[in-house]
Amino acid sequence: MRRNFKALFLTMILAVVLFLPSRVWSDQQVVVYGDRYYPPYSYLEDGQAKGIYVEILMAAFAQMKDYEVTINMMPWKRGLDAVKEGKAVALFPPYQTKERMAWIDFSEPILAEQIVVFGKSEGLAGKVVWPEDFFGSNFGLNLGFDQTALGGEKFVEACATGKIKVQEANSTEQNLKKLKADRIDFYINDRLANIDLFPSIKRGMVVAENHGHLGFTRKSEAFKFLPDFKKQFNGAIKNLKASKEIDRILKKYLQ
């Protein structure tokens, strides 16, 4: 009788274990990717993911108790392709565009970024109308960056008709080196792009404003957790905005 009771007790314990949600035992492992060449927003330094978005996202992920999230960095174009093909669950920080909406679900907006023209003083002098004052120039862009998001429809039209020529490079640093060496005339990127090592390069006019997001793949068959992950992430970003934590993180990089 005692042996039967013990067997029954063990059977009941096993049944409880089998029917408990898996997340009771371990958090869902998730890997998201960031642009490794986009300082100060996201970059790789000594093998560590760093930058404004990295700090914000880690603060958001800390609120998502059901998930253990790892951030890996990769070149931007490669990251976009991985999300488009469903090989990566999410990438930061894409701007929202009509073309990307076909294969990316965009999170709650995280940060507003101002896009400016970088150039040498003599090149920027007197240029106040965008993009007409820059016709005939050669621009540098980061590989995979969307021309519409960076410069608007008129900029895209000018590039398509040859009024403005475009060269792409993998990173901000590569473009700034080309600008310093006069291999391009101008470069467009976020106003916080670090130009400390390039004293001859200045910030010119603001040409656009965009919001950075966490972009989720629409090919989500392999990521069954994604609807809940997106919901929790968006809620966490809203909490960080309400608490002014995002402003505090950004302020550290503006000093």
| Interval 9-38 mean pLDDT | 67
Q: Whole-angstrom Cα distance, residue 212 to residue 143? A: 17
What pLDDT digit, counting tens, does each position of 48-63 carry? 999 999 999 999 999 9
Is it the case that residue 6 has pLDDT exceeding 70? no
Q: What is the pLDDT of residue 234?
A: 98
Cβ-contact 30, 92 below 8 angstroms: no
Angle at CA 227, nearest 5°, toward 222 and 229? 90
Q: What is the pLDDT of residue 116?
A: 97
| Interval 200-208 mean pLDDT | 97
Q: What is the pLDDT of residue 112?
A: 94
Quick one: 24-110+213-254 is in which CATH superfamily? Periplasmic binding protein-like II (3.40.190.10)
Cβ-contact 116, 127 below 8 angstroms: no
Q: Whole-angstrom Cα distance, residue 38 to residue 44? A: 9
What is the residue extent of each domain of the chain?
A: 24-110+213-254, 114-210
Tell me if domain 24-110+213-254 and domain 114-210 are identical in fold.
yes
Residue in the block written with tokens 């894409």: 94
What pLDDT digit, counting tens, does each position of 121-137 carry? 999 999 999 999 999 99
Q: Whole-angstrom Cα distance, residue 205 to residue 118? A: 8
Angle at CA 234, nearest 5°, toward 108 and 208? 15
Is it the case that residue 219 has pLDDT exceeding 60? yes
Longest dimension (CA), the chain: 97
Q: Which CATH number fits domain 114-210: 1.20.190.20, 3.30.70.270, 3.40.190.10, 3.30.565.10?
A: 3.40.190.10
Across the chain, mean pLDDT equals 92
CB neighbourhood size of 182 (10 A): 11
Is it the case that residue 1 has pLDDT exceeding 60? no
Nearest one of 209, 90, 75 to 152, comparing CA atoms? 209
Residues 6+ apart with CB under 8 A from 208: 114, 115, 149, 150, 151, 152
Instruction: Give the start-end residues of each E strand in the chain.
Output: 28-35, 37-38, 42-45, 48-50, 67-74, 90-92, 104-106, 111-120, 138-142, 165-169, 186-190, 201-212, 215-217
Residue in the block written with tokens 């976009």: 80
Q: Whole-angstrom Cα distance, residue 183 to residue 174? A: 11
